[in-house]
Amino acid sequence: MKISIITPVLNRVDTLERTLRSVSMQTYEDIEHIIQDGGSTDGSASLASTWRSPHPVRVQSARDRGIYDAINTGIARCDGDVIGLLGSDDYLADPQVIRDVANALTKDVDGIYGDLDLISASGRVLRHWRAGPFRRNRMQWGWAPPHPTLYLRREVFNRLGAYDADYRIAGDYDAMLRWIWAGDIRLAYLPRVLVKMAQGGASTGSALGLWTKTREDYRALRRHKAGGLGTLAAKNLRKVGQFRALMWGAGH
């Protein structure tokens, strides 16, 4: 099966090379890397266009309405049987990630997800997100798979839609609720770290970003009838346990 990895980017030349390299190093052969550039002025699009990789790298630079609009454009451009995302600040954990994803995608599941590490600029792990086994009803208790680790069959997007570009920050959570809770897709858990994700981002970079994310999370929960304020509170409390587990593992 062909696996498409979509990277939306806007002025991330300092981190994009690491992202590109992590895909280039994958041992699974049938990969395409779709770079959807939003009109960068720092050389990001040029870097991606000249990048040499054993896997096809397909670059398009065009203005968009935000990250989810860019992702949707990338989905429309890709040819893969399976589609995943990789942020321009993030990278695949090791060269075997996509091979393991492909091997775990048995015919009776619609997608795969795994674990994620949130890292500092120096590469230190700040938070270990162990997603745990899939049970759909856990979503009412604030659970969701780490979005950057999620790989879905193309049929899921064809049947249930892609991302709602009206969201600024929580379009990924809205989409996962639509796919998993409302759409009742079948997922399998791959119990290993798939992605190293950089600290920061729109949802945590400012008080305004955090407030916007909270409002949009609640809107998505109500939209898909997956819960309310209690679910939202549980979703945020889950992060505390991830930090605590990391500290315990470090012996603190």
Mean pLDDT in residue range 67-82:
98
- The string of pLDDT tens digits covering residues 215-251 is 999 999 999 999 999 999 999 887 765 554 444 444 3
Query: pLDDT tens digit string along 124-174?
Result: 999 999 999 999 999 999 999 999 999 999 999 999 999 999 999 999 999
Condensed to tens digits (0 to 9), the pLDDT of residues 31-73 reads 999 999 999 999 999 999 999 999 999 999 999 999 999 999 9
pTM above 0.85, yes or no: yes
Q: Judge contact between 4 and 35, C-beta under 8 A.
A: no
DSSP assignment of 73-122, as one string? HHHHH---SEEEE--TT-EESSTTHHHHHHHH--TT-SEEEEEEEEE-TT
Domains of the chain: 1-104 (3.90.550.10), 109-146+183-252 (no CATH)
The Cα–Cα gap between 214 and 232 comes to 8
Query: What token pair was written down for 39?
Result: 């009109």
Model confidence over 7-19: pLDDT tens digits? 999 999 999 999 9
What's the CA angle centered on 144, arms 139 and 147, to 5 degrees?
A: 155
